[in-house]
Structure formats: structure tokens, C-alpha cells
């Protein structure tokens, strides 16, 4: 059974088409990666799934029911983990989770039980009486998740749940996502961290300019990229501008630099590694390491959209 079924979904803001006739399905038990750069139409799509925006056209079905006619059922089946924290700073962790779970009709003993369960699930059981203002960024993110899962939704939408937190909290959250999935939840996951998506998502859709331009498993998507390669060169020291010197070399499609690491997106058919190294050494750059990477999601994304996910 499809937990989410989107058909011909469109959203226009005046003349601007933010989401352009997209269709996709998310099956039960999937962790579905939804990737797109800023402004690609990803957030607008998610807002429409959450009934926060009215579509201009198309249909959204959750658990085979149209959210337009059965909005209450659809909302009851959904849990939202927004990118920006959506918690009350003046309420304790327990009160936050209990309040948001209460919105789904839970009351009394069941509400208490589910609240405690959700807090324990995200590792905040011992912080139930603490106020979020005393929490670290990672703890707040975990509380943000607890507020979305206490009512036991069938479909959870997680938007950048690991943004801006320490590696330990990030690992905890990723493990929680897997655990939720194992317990029967279907998850739609968006992230700017490509390695996270590769690690946990069973299927991925890439959105660009309001359209889905690719969809499939990680293997299916990377298999489509046979004509490009990624070369990563680590310099001993960087003066800046090294990547710019590589543009124009045969086969080089894009070269970007972060501190002393240069990433080169190049045609696979052109043997240009020696030329690249030579150009760098002519500029007195000392090379520490060179790696030619296997096709990955980042390469797929760059190839399909012409930009990095974080652009």
C-alpha cells in the first residue's frame, strides 16, 4: 500500500510556478529521501502535504485517502519534524510533547504514557521537567522529534533534522530514524548532508525547478551517471583561487574549493588528471592527496541540476 500518493501536484504563486505537476509515491516502510537545492520546490511540496498550503492543482492521497476531503484523517496520520525548531521555550520538555500530542486527541493516561514514551525514545526521559532553554542544540532537535512522534503517526516528514548539531546528537538522531522506520513508520527525509541520505534512504527523489528530475534507489540513480567522475585533491596549503585555475581544462565541468580541498566534476571519458595536477603545481601548490571517487549521490545531483545541494 502507498502511504503517500501524489499526482500532478502544482502550486503557483501568481505567475511563479513553485511546484510543477509532480507525481510520486511513497510505499509503506520506506525512508524516502527528498532532495532539492534551496528554492527547488521541496518545501512547498512538503507544506502542501502538511495542509499548510492549498495546492493550485493535483491530488495528494495519504493512506489512500484524499487529504482535501479527509483532511482530519490525513493530519492524524502525519508527524512533522520541521527544520526550524517548533517548541515552546516556556514549557518543559514534558509539557511540550504532551501539548502537541494532545492536539491529536490523546488525553489522560494514554497521553501521559505516549509523552513519556516519546521522550524516552529521543533520550530525554530524564529531562522531562527541564525547560528547552537549558538544552543544547542537539537536545532541542531531539525534543522537536519527540513532539512529532508521540501520537504514533504512520508517516513522518523530517526536514533537515540534523542541521547544526554535534556529531554525537546527529548519530543519535539517525539511529532514531532507523528505529522509527523499523517500528513501522514511513519516513520522508530531507537533508543537505548527502551522506546521510545515502546512508538511510531506501529511495530518493531529486527536485529541481519545481519538477522531479530523478527518482529511484541510490544504486539506480548513481547508475545513471556513467559519463562523469569526481576528483578530490587535497593540498598541503591553499592560498585560495586554486580551483579557478582549473576551469577551462579539457573535460572539467566544475571545480569548487573548500579551504585546501578541491573538488573537480569532470567528464569521465577525458583522461585529464595529469593536466590538473600539473596546473596546480605550476601555481606552486603542494599536493597532499588525490582521490578519484566512485559515482555517488552528490555527483548525480550535480550532474542533473548543475549545482551542489548546498548552493
Partner 1 sequence: MRKELWFLVRTTLRRIFRNRSNWLIYLGLPVAGVVLATVLYGSTGQPDLQVGIVNGDGNARVAADTVQFLGKLDHVKFANVTESELREQLADGKLDTGLILSAGYSDSVMAGKPDHIALHSVKGATVTAYFKSMLSSYVDNVSAMARIANGDTATFDRLYGQYSGAGFKLTAQSVNDTSNTKEMSTQSIGFLLMFMLTSAGSLSELILKNRENRTYFRIVSSPISAKVYVLSNIIVNLIVMAGQILIALFFMRVVFHLSAGVPFATMFGLLALFALVAVSLSLAVVSFAKSSSAAGAMQNFIVTPSCLVAGCFFPASVMPEFMQRVSDFLPQSWLLAALGKLQANGGLADIGLNFAVLLAFAAVFFLIAVYKFGRSDDTRNFV
Site string for partner 1, 97-126 (x = CB under 8 A): --xx-xxxx---------------------
Helix 137-149, helix 167-182: angle, nearest 10: 10
DSSP annotation of 207 reads E
Computed from CA positions of residues 99, 100, 101, 105, in that sequence, does the dihedral angle turn out positive or negative? positive
Report the nearest approach of partner 1 to the CB of residue 288 (Å): 40
DSSP lists the bridge partners of residue 228 as 267
Residue number, 90 or 182, with CB nearest to partner 1: 90
Q: Is 306 helix (H, G, I), strand (E, B) or coil?
A: coil
Residue number, 13 or 217, with CB nearest to partner 1: 13
DSSP lists the bridge partners of residue 204 as 33, 216
Report the nearest approach of partner 1 to the CB of residue 187 (Å): 14
Q: Whole-angstrom Cα distance, residue 229 to residue 231?
A: 7
Report the nearest approach of partner 1 to the CB of residue 272 (Å): 41
Site for partner 1 in 135-154 (CB under 8 A): 147-148
Site string for partner 1, 31-50 (x = CB under 8 A): ------------x--xx--x
Residues 6+ apart with CB under 8 A from 183: none
Residue number, 160 or 234, with CB nearest to partner 1: 160
Q: Whole-angstrom Cα distance, residue 192 to residue 257?
A: 18
Site residues (CB under 8 A) for partner 1?
13, 43, 46-47, 50-54, 72, 75-76, 78, 80, 82-91, 99-100, 102-105, 147-148, 157, 159
Amino acid at each position: 500500500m502507498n502511504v503517500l500518493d501524489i499526482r500532478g501536484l502544482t502550486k503557483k504563486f501568481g505567475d511563479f510556478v513553485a511546484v510543477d505537476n509532480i507525481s510520486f509515491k511513497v510505499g509503506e516502510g520506506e525512508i524516502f529521501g527528498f532532495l532539492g537545492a534551496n528554492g527547488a520546490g521541496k518545501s512547498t511540496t512538503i507544506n502542501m502535504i502538511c495542509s499548510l498550503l492549498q495546492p493550485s492543482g493535483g491530488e495528494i492521497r495519504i493512506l489512500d485517502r484524499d487529504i482535501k476531503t479527509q483532511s482530519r484523517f490525513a493530519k492524524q496520520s502525519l508527524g512533522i519534524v520541521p527544520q526550524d525548531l517548533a517548541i515552546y521555550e516556556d514549557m518543559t520538555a514534558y509539557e511540550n510533547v504532551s501539548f502537541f500530542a494532545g492536539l491529536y486527541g490523546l488525553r489522560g493516561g494514554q497521553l501521559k504514557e505516549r509523552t513519556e514514551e516519546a521522550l524516552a525514545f529521543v533520550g530525554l526521559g530524564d529531562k522531562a521537567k527541564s525547560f528547552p532553554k537549558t538544552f543544547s542544540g542537539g537536545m532541542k532537535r531531539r525534543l522537536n522529534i519527540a513532539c512529532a512522534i508521540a501520537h504514533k503517526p504512520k508517516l513522518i516528514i523530517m526536514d533537515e533534522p540534523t542541521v547544526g548539531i554535534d556529531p554525537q546528537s546527529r548519530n543519535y538522531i539517525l539511529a532514531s530514524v532507523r528505529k522509527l522506520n523499523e517500528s513501522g513508520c514511513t519516513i520522508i527525509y530531507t537533508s543537505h548532508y548527502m551522506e546521510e541520505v545515502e546512508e538511510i534512504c531506501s529511495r530518493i527523489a531529486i527536485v529541481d525547478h519545481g519538477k522531479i528530475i530523478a527518482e529511484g534507489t541510490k544504486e539506480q540513480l548513481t547508475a545513471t551517471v556513467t559519463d562523469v567522475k569526481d576528483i578530490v585533491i587535497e593540498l598541503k596549503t591553499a592560498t585560495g583561487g586554486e580551483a579557478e585555475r582549473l576551469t577551462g581544462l579539457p573535460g572539467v565541468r566544475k571545480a569548487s574549493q573548500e579551504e585546501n580541498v578541491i573538488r573537480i566534476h569532470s567528464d569521465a571519458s577525458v583522461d585529464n588528471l595529469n593536466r590538473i595536477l600539473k596546473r596546480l603545481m605550476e601555481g606552486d601548490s603542494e599536493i597532499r592527496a588525490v582521490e578519484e571517487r566512485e559515482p555517488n549521490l552528490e555527483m548525480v545531483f550535480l550532474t542533473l541540476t548543475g549545482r551542489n545541494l548546498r548552493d
